[in-house]
A and B are shown apart, each in its own frame.
Chain A
Amino acid sequence: METAILQVSPGTGEDTVRLICSSFEEKLGRKIDFRVTEKKELIGGFIAKIDGTTYDSSVSSRLSRMKIHLLKK
């Protein structure tokens, strides 16, 4: 079983964490042992680092992309 890191925002429930973990396992077709940590900077959503690949679904990243897009105009 490989180990991966899952960072979630404060206030994320256990059901949500389980949803995220099971979804990754389903998509990747293997069991994964997630080390779950809370990170306030995410604001919302999660960041998962699996096998050297980062999957970023955090609110902070979305806001950063939005800011870059607005500043580019």
Chain B
Amino acid sequence: MEGLDLSKIPMDLIMNIINIVILFVIVRFLAYKPVKKFLDARKKRLEDEKAAAESKAGEAQAMCEEYEKKLSEVEAARAEAVRAGEKEGQQRADELVRSAKKDADRLLSDAKQAIAAKEAESAESMRDSVVELSVSIASKVIGRNINDEDNKRLAREFFDEEADKIK
């Protein structure tokens, strides 16, 4: 390698600098605008996309809120239907209980009447049996004990009491 020529360094440097400047001017002239245009377009596109995304997010949020609102309404309607159903069910249950109680009361009353009738029938039957037995015993006792004097007295009583019937 040859030794550096110190007297030429400033000139090379100047030339390099000039080259760089010239290159810079050329590149700036030729490429700056298109690149800037490209970058601007890209920026705009990104901004547009961002705005669209934000818009979509807003719509989604609105739909979500709408959905939740509708869900709340449905839930409220369901709760109301359940309450109404419960109330109706309770009313029907109360009605069934009332009807059953009424039937039970009627059955009880009928049963009491039947029992009373049966008791009266039994009492009457027993009384009839007692009468039959008493008369039977009386006839036997009288038959064993009656004598001629009794028959004579019966005859006299008959003629005294029934005289007007003898024709």
A residues with a Cβ closer than 8 A to B are 8-9, 11-13, 15-16, 19-20, 23-24, 27-28, 43-46, 53, 55, 57, 59-60, 63, 66-67, 70-71
Query: Looking at chain B, what size class is its interface with the partner chain?
Result: 20 to 34
In the docked arrangement, what's the CA distance between A70 and B157, Å? 23
Do A27 and B155 form a contact, CB below 8 Å, given A44-B142, A59-B139? no
Which A-chain residue is minimally distant from B132 (CB atoms)? Answer: A67
A28-B167, A43-B142, A59-B142 known, 16 other contacts, Cβ within 8 Å: A9-B151, A15-B148, A16-B151, A16-B152, A19-B155, A28-B166, A44-B143, A44-B146, A45-B155, A46-B155, A59-B143, A59-B154, A63-B139, A63-B142, A66-B135, A71-B131
In the docked arrangement, what's the CA distance between A18 and B151, Å? 12
Q: Which 3 A-B pairs have the closest CB atoms?
A: A57-B158, A13-B148, A44-B146
Which B-chain residue is minimally distant from A26 (CB atoms)? Answer: B159
Whether A57 contacts B155 by the Cβ 8 Å rule is yes
- Tell me, yes or no, whether B7 is within 8 Å of chain A by CB: no
B residues with a Cβ closer than 8 A to A are 128, 131-132, 135, 138-139, 142-143, 146-148, 150-152, 154-159, 162-163, 165-167
Whether B155 contacts A23 by the Cβ 8 Å rule is yes
What is the distance, in angstroms, from B167's C-beta to the closest C-beta of chain A? Answer: 7
What is the distance, in angstroms, from B140's C-beta to the closest C-beta of chain A? Answer: 9
What is the distance, in angstroms, from B15's C-beta to the closest C-beta of chain A? Answer: 162
Complex A-B: 18 CB contacts under 8 Å: A12-B148, A13-B148, A13-B151, A16-B148, A16-B155, A19-B155, A28-B166, A28-B167, A43-B146, A44-B143, A44-B150, A44-B154, A46-B151, A46-B155, A57-B155, A59-B146, A63-B142, A70-B135
